[in-house]
Structure 1
Amino acid sequence: MPASLTATLIGPVLALREGRQLELGSPTQRTIFAVLATHAGRTVSRDELVHAIWGERAPATAVNSVYTYVSRLRNSLRTEHRGDHAELLVSDRFGYMLRVAPEGVDVRRFTTSLATARQLRAENAAPRAVRELEAGLSLWRGTPYEGAIGPFVHAERARLTDARLLALEDCAEMLMELGRPVALVGELSALVHHHPLRERLRYLLMRCYVELGWHADAIREYHSLRKRLVEEQGVEPGGPLRQLYERALRGGAGPVSGPGRTPPPAGDTPPEALSQLVREVPGFTGRSAELAQLNSLAEQASAEPTLLLVTGGPGMGKTALATRFAHAMAHRYPDGQLHVDLHAAGTPGQKAPEAAIRHLVAAMGRPAPCESVDARAAYRSLVAGRRLLIVLDDAAGVEQVRALLPGTPSSLVVVTSRNGLAGLIARDGARRIVLEGMGKEDGLRLFGRIVGEPFTVRHRPAVQRLVAACGGMPLALRIAATRIKVAPSPADALACFEDGDPVDFLELSGDRESSLSTVIGWSYAALPPEAAHVFMALGLQEERVVTLPLATGLSGMDRPECRRALHALVDAGLLREVAPDRFCLDSLILAYAQWLGKPQQLVPRQRTVRCARLATITMMDPSTESERLQMIS
């Protein structure tokens, strides 16, 4: 067994082994230790480390630098009289893992303390909850992650600072409930001075003054806050603050808002709970493992801001899964559930962040911020402290999502996207699941629910081949099952699928947006030109497993350029990397790439690019049937 290791991250980044402080080296090397310690017991990929340190501007040599820093870190973790240092920092082809017990990392202990305190408070054990919070707050030794650098550190520092403020607010609120307001005035005054726009802090300080009979001080605090909110954000103080202000004007007469617990004072509580979640997909089938994983990730988040990503290729059922999960979690978020369709690049009506903010603010019954006000800050002020479940569906990119994240950890945000959104993992602490095809048995059950079990049993071998050909893609299975069900002869329709072009078969008359070519076409249309070129080139052959040398030969690109294009296809959900420089195309994605090259798919907007095997490849964007016919004629 390796010698015990402890990591201090809430303050200067330090490592102690057997009571001896270890030398962690340069800020970059110290950052790698901090990232691995934060995720103790979990493998951190090399790409995650690169993003954590350099973000989206990583140099070409970043991965090689990671190897060097990890090697030096191993030497630093070595004890002089033991040869077990390799057991502390283990590596495999997926990445690196630091073997340190959760209780040996102060960030993990702090998070556990906050979660335990929340549970104790729910059980009306306020004195024990206060002690638990005070134990967690005592772990702070200064600025979190001091001495480390990079996007991950900045995001973690902001997250922990918010969590600490929330813990201080909870602790003050419970001490007030226990009848100790006078002990809080000094600390709350200092906190309000450093965070003048934080409404809950101001509410608690005002409440202390009211409880002590210092009504003039409470009135002064209210006017000070209102002036700053109106001038800087264009909003009024929330309902609970106004009620407390009116109570102070009456000399303290009247009840305090809420039965013993301060309601979220970020804005007026709507007259009834918001419930914007879209309806669940009828006949939702399978995905039990993915739902369990989402539940586990939500539980692990504890007192942290909870941001969950559901990513994957087109047609994989990301929205259906997120909606199912959101409905199951809704009861935990009594302040409401919000849903906004962000319309990823390539789909009609993509929402800019400010448009999405206006949608969310209007849903909460508040007027949109005026143009002179920072809309993002006003939105964060509105949702601060509320327990909301927010579904951001079909996100195009990192910045579109980041603008809509609440500033406090009381809400759950679930994002679906065709893109990987790795920046949200590196900077914003997101937890991600990548959705792939359904298993064979789940695919058969889904098909049977639509067509009928008797037909599925009677034609089981052919249906099994159909499920395999669809690669477990729920959208493809639903389209195929629907076409077979409504056909005059379902058995003949099943045979047509086996004998014909799957892309042509997986079209629904009168509903282009639910047809396979349209849904995959949105992802294709959003690709950068080099990635679109490589995708077209892959359609020139029949192999689903593609290596970098094969893609290079097909596209005529040099290796670095081709590798970047392949990784862009991975990020867009059109490829899966199964090993370094080795990729896999789902069968229907390959069929679509081949379908694009058919003459009848030519459209007016096109360009030619070089290719090693052919003189030119024609590249095009999805278009209407009339445009295609016009081009052919």
Structure 2
Amino acid sequence: MPASLTATLLGPVLAIRDGSRLELGSPTQRTIFAVLATHANRTVSRDELVDAIWGDNAPATAVNSVYTYVSRLRNSLRPNGRGDQPELLVSDRSGYTLRVAPEGVDVQRFGAALATARALRAEQAAPRAVRELQGALALWRGTPYEGAIGPFVHAERARLAEARLLALEDRAELLMELGRPAALVGELSALVHHHPLRERLRYLLMRAYVELGWHADAIREYHALRKLLVEEQGMEPGAQLRTLYERVLRGEAETAPAAAPLAPVPVADRRPPGALSQLVRDVPGFTGRTAELARLNRLAAEAAAEPTLLLVTGGPGVGKTALATRFAHASAHRYPDGQLHVDLHAVGTRERKTPEAAIRHLVAAMGQPPPPESVDARAAYRSLVADRRLLIVLDNAASAEQVRALLPGTPSSLVVVTSRNGLAGLIARDGARRIVLRGIGEEDGLRLFSRIVGEPFTARHRPAVQRLVAACGGMPLALRIAATRIKVAPSPDEALACFEDGDPVDFLELPGDRESSLSTVIGWSYAALPPEAAHVLIALGMQDAHVVTVPLATALSGLDRAECHYALHALVDAGLLHEVAADRFRLDNLILAYAQWLGKLKGLVPRQRTAVCARLATITRIAPSTESERLQMIS
């Protein structure tokens, strides 16, 4: 990966190669560079670029303009007279990728430093956490994405401004713990002046005054905040501030109580005290998904003036609930009336929740009695949540109808839905904005594996671990299971070798926890398939190709073309296949391995494979020497 290119986004958008600043051209062209740098080493589609630059106001010529701007940008990034160096901006049918080392993009370094600081705080290593935060804050050079334009830039500026403010608060809190309040008063006073309603800042300033014995100043700050909150928002200061204020009045606050530990996400929890919070526990060691989180933030920001519905879809074990939970925790402070969570049980061992049962759950969570049978429960629910600022997570949804019954009728709330199914009806009828998850990249996969097994083991066996990450298709659940199996094994080295030599489906099982085993998690999706789709999935396991076509699937399954076409798209909707082109589909590594495992389990492959290959030979009217060659001919 080229390391000579660096991208500055926390200030004016700049590209620097080998110490020289490159000319990025017009604001639109600069924006394209900024979007590609933000998502460095990930393919960004042309539609994403159009959306980032123009949003809903894209002209008819937008795609053609993107081609032109990218061509000019590629010329700007190309090393002059040095044909031996690889291209930094590459393209394929899916879109464009800017190849640059992660440490070469300041936005990514900033996010990584914040995550490291939180991990160090959790380990009680406050001085090191402060140094990480200071390094992160030193990366800022002005207004983020200066010189760039469009909806993406506006959303990113808002996200990064919030992240920077949280980093300043975290740093101040840590310095308070280290007994250095005098160094904070000036900085906190300036921040409170610019953010007068931000309760955490005001609390930290009051704490600093208390630590210094300046009780009158602490009382003055409390009354100033209370006046603003009552006049502008009709609410009192939060419980933490009130408690500190009362301790000062009673003369008990020679030393203020320590603040609550930081949340394990890059956004602090600033809910009003007493607000409802049903969010499930954030996933420990959450790794990667920076681009997906940024996209969710952008989609939520763009839809602020209308009912906001976000879909997170993808195959089994890909991390939909983990991503939605991380996003919900990070966004909770924007929804002061509370955060609700309900598992709709589309898959799993429990009975699927009906809309009425889900409404009863949500109504009870808000402290209300269930509506009487004579009342329309759905209408009563909409009335209850109308105009409240709620964040509602509908996890593990089965259908659009199940979700639609739970949508508020007003635009003040945000609804986040996770599902293994595509739920296209919610996009068509309800204006949902969707992201489809695939596996995480190799570097993120290595980091996730290392978090569990340890960096020394990964470094010692890096090629083998890279093969393991590839075999798992970047599926976070599979990587966690594999890493856990290896970590707890008597000989981790032998366990890693067993993974390489054995059946991945058999290896990715956790004794005593069937619901965290791969065969169970994928099996829930398989069990919900229509019969034709289940039959085709097993048939696809009778060969080794990852990319399959309708003719190949037809030959393998014995179904007619129309039936097979329907079955393949049912597999796509269930997240078990990806359509990469018209009538051309891709099986991820573990889904193919599961299909082959199913075939062996049912005893179908040995009996049917010879007949299938004979049929392929008849169709192609030639007889290649091996079964694999015959199977490849029709694909």
Q: Mind listing any 5+ residue stretches in structure 2 that lack a counterpart? A: 264-268, 301-309, 347-352, 369-380, 441-472, 479-502, 510-521, 535-559, 588-635
* Other-structure match for 2:126: 126
User: How far apart in 2 are the matches of 1:323 and 1:243?
Assistant: 36
Aligned 8 A contact 2:427 2:433 in 1: no
User: How far apart in 2 are the matches of 1:580 and 1:49?
Assistant: 20
Query: Structure 1 residue 349: deviation in Å?
Result: 6.3
* Other-structure match for 2:53: 53
**Higher mean C-alpha deviation, range 168-177 or range 245-254:** 245-254
Q: 2:271 aligns with which of 262, 266, 271?
A: 266
* Other-structure match for 2:422: 418
Question: Per the alignment, do residues 342 and 10 of structure 1 end up closer, same or farther by CA in structure 2, a change over 3 Å counting?
Answer: farther
User: How far apart in 1 are the matches of 2:290 and 2:319?
Assistant: 18
* Other-structure match for 1:460: none
* Other-structure match for 1:165: 165
Query: Structure 1 residue 4: deviation in Å?
Result: 0.9
TM-score, normalising length: structure 1: 0.55
Q: Does 1:108 align with 2:79?
A: no
Question: Per the alignment, do residues 104 and 323 of structure 1 end up closer, same or farther by CA in structure 2, a change over 3 Å counting?
Answer: closer
User: How far apart in 2 are the matches of 1:28 and 1:331?
Assistant: 33
Give the secondary-structure state (helix, strand or coil) at the position aligned to 1:205.
helix
Give the secondary-structure state (helix, strand or coil) at the position aligned to 1:208.
helix
1:443-490 deviation per Cα after TM superposition (whole angstroms, max 9, x unaligned) = 9x99xxxxxxxxxxxxxxxxxxxxxxxxx894672588xxxxxxxxxx
Question: Per the alignment, do residues 250 and 151 of structure 1 end up closer, same or farther by CA in structure 2, a change over 3 Å counting?
Answer: same
Q: Does 1:240 align with 2:228?
A: no
Question: Per the alignment, do residues 234 and 330 of structure 1 end up closer, same or farther by CA in structure 2, a change over 3 Å counting?
Answer: closer
* Other-structure match for 1:561: none
Aligned 8 A contact 2:156 2:294 in 1: no
Question: Per the alignment, do residues 274 and 253 of structure 1 end up closer, same or farther by CA in structure 2, a change over 3 Å counting?
Answer: same
The one of the two structures with greater contact order (alpha-carbon pairs below 8 A, sep at least 6) is: 1
User: How far apart in 2 are the matches of 1:269 and 1:21?
Assistant: 52
User: How far apart in 2 are the matches of 1:262 and 1:252?
Assistant: 25
Query: Structure 1 residue 243: deviation in Å?
Result: 0.6
Give the secondary-structure state (helix, strand or coil) at the position aligned to 2:139.
coil
Give the secondary-structure state (helix, strand or coil) at the position aligned to 1:542.
helix
* Other-structure match for 1:176: 176
1:207-250 deviation per Cα after TM superposition (whole angstroms, max 9, x unaligned) = 11111122222122212222322333333222111111112212
Query: Structure 1 residue 127: deviation in Å?
Result: 1.5
Query: Structure 1 residue 390: deviation in Å?
Result: 5.3
Query: Structure 1 residue 251: deviation in Å?
Result: 3.3
User: How far apart in 1 are the matches of 2:326 and 2:160?
Assistant: 28
* Other-structure match for 1:477: 527
TM-score, normalising length: structure 2: 0.54
Amino acid at match of 1:103: E
Give the secondary-structure state (helix, strand or coil) at the position aligned to 1:87.
coil
Question: Per the alignment, do residues 79 and 477 of structure 1 end up closer, same or farther by CA in structure 2, a change over 3 Å counting?
Answer: closer
Question: Per the alignment, do residues 192 and 149 of structure 1 end up closer, same or farther by CA in structure 2, a change over 3 Å counting?
Answer: same
Amino acid at match of 2:579: V
**Higher mean C-alpha deviation, range 43-52 or range 27-36:** 43-52
Q: Does 1:151 align with 2:151?
A: yes
Query: Structure 1 residue 56: deviation in Å?
Result: 3.2
Aligned 8 A contact 2:213 2:254 in 1: no
Q: Does 1:339 align with 2:341?
A: yes
Question: Per the alignment, do residues 95 and 392 of structure 1 end up closer, same or farther by CA in structure 2, a change over 3 Å counting?
Answer: same
User: How far apart in 2 are the matches of 1:180 and 1:208?
Assistant: 9
* Other-structure match for 1:11: 11
User: How far apart in 2 are the matches of 1:332 and 1:27?
Assistant: 30
Query: Structure 1 residue 274: deviation in Å?
Result: 4.9
Question: Per the alignment, do residues 329 and 199 of structure 1 end up closer, same or farther by CA in structure 2, a change over 3 Å counting?
Answer: closer
1:421-432 → structure 2 map (5 Å cutoff): 432=437
Amino acid at match of 1:311: T
Give the secondary-structure state (helix, strand or coil) at the position aligned to 1:578.
strand
Give the secondary-structure state (helix, strand or coil) at the position aligned to 1:115.
helix
* Other-structure match for 1:310: 312
Aligned 8 A contact 1:10 1:145 in 2: yes
User: How far apart in 2 are the matches of 1:430 and 1:585?
Assistant: 18
Aligned 8 A contact 1:233 1:374 in 2: no
1:208-357 → structure 2 map (5 Å cutoff): 208-253=208-253, 256-258=256-258, 266-268=271-273, 274=278, 296-297=287-288, 310-311=312-313, 338-340=340-342
**Higher mean C-alpha deviation, range 323-332 or range 135-144:** 323-332
Query: Structure 1 residue 37: deviation in Å?
Result: 0.6
* Other-structure match for 2:196: 196
Aligned 8 A contact 2:572 2:578 in 1: no
User: How far apart in 1 are the matches of 2:582 and 2:292?
Assistant: 33
Query: Structure 1 residue 328: deviation in Å?
Result: 13
1:506-585 → structure 2 map (5 Å cutoff): 542=562, 578-579=579-580
Give the secondary-structure state (helix, strand or coil) at the position aligned to 1:41.
coil
* Other-structure match for 2:135: 135
User: How far apart in 2 are the matches of 1:583 and 1:204?
Assistant: 57
Aligned 8 A contact 2:31 2:53 in 1: yes
The RMSD of aligned alpha carbons is 5.9
User: How far apart in 1 are the matches of 2:23 and 2:363?
Assistant: 50
Aligned 8 A contact 2:199 2:237 in 1: yes
Question: Per the alignment, do residues 328 and 102 of structure 1 end up closer, same or farther by CA in structure 2, a change over 3 Å counting?
Answer: closer
Question: Per the alignment, do residues 414 and 27 of structure 1 end up closer, same or farther by CA in structure 2, a change over 3 Å counting?
Answer: same
Aligned 8 A contact 2:144 2:160 in 1: yes
1:590-629 → structure 2 map (5 Å cutoff): none
Question: Per the alignment, do residues 57 and 357 of structure 1 end up closer, same or farther by CA in structure 2, a change over 3 Å counting?
Answer: farther
Query: Structure 1 residue 188: deviation in Å?
Result: 0.6
Question: Per the alignment, do residues 198 and 301 of structure 1 end up closer, same or farther by CA in structure 2, a change over 3 Å counting?
Answer: farther
Aligned 8 A contact 2:52 2:150 in 1: yes
Percent of aligned pairs sharing the same letter:
56
User: How far apart in 1 are the matches of 2:143 and 2:329?
Assistant: 36
Question: Per the alignment, do residues 301 and 252 of structure 1 end up closer, same or farther by CA in structure 2, a change over 3 Å counting?
Answer: farther
Query: Structure 1 residue 169: deviation in Å?
Result: 0.4
Aligned 8 A contact 1:197 1:228 in 2: yes
Query: Structure 1 residue 343: deviation in Å?
Result: 13
Query: Structure 1 residue 260: deviation in Å?
Result: 7.9
1:482-510 deviation per Cα after TM superposition (whole angstroms, max 9, x unaligned) = xxxxxxxxxxxxxxx78xx99xxxxxxxx
User: How far apart in 2 are the matches of 1:66 and 1:114?
Assistant: 33
User: How far apart in 1 are the matches of 2:132 and 2:163?
Assistant: 14
User: How far apart in 1 are the matches of 2:326 and 2:136?
Assistant: 31
Query: Structure 1 residue 418: deviation in Å?
Result: 3.4
User: How far apart in 2 are the matches of 1:10 and 1:422?
Assistant: 34
User: How far apart in 2 are the matches of 1:199 and 1:239?
Assistant: 10
* Other-structure match for 1:600: none
* Other-structure match for 2:593: none
User: How far apart in 2 are the matches of 1:350 and 1:51?
Assistant: 37
Query: Structure 1 residue 137: deviation in Å?
Result: 0.3
1:537-586 deviation per Cα after TM superposition (whole angstroms, max 9, x unaligned) = xxx9927559xxxxxxxxxxxxxxxxxxx9xx999989988355657799
Give the secondary-structure state (helix, strand or coil) at the position aligned to 2:119.
helix
User: How far apart in 2 are the matches of 1:222 and 1:430?
Assistant: 43
Question: Per the alignment, do residues 71 and 133 of structure 1 end up closer, same or farther by CA in structure 2, a change over 3 Å counting?
Answer: same
User: How far apart in 1 are the matches of 2:11 and 2:433?
Assistant: 20
Amino acid at match of 2:112: T
Aligned 8 A contact 1:240 1:257 in 2: no
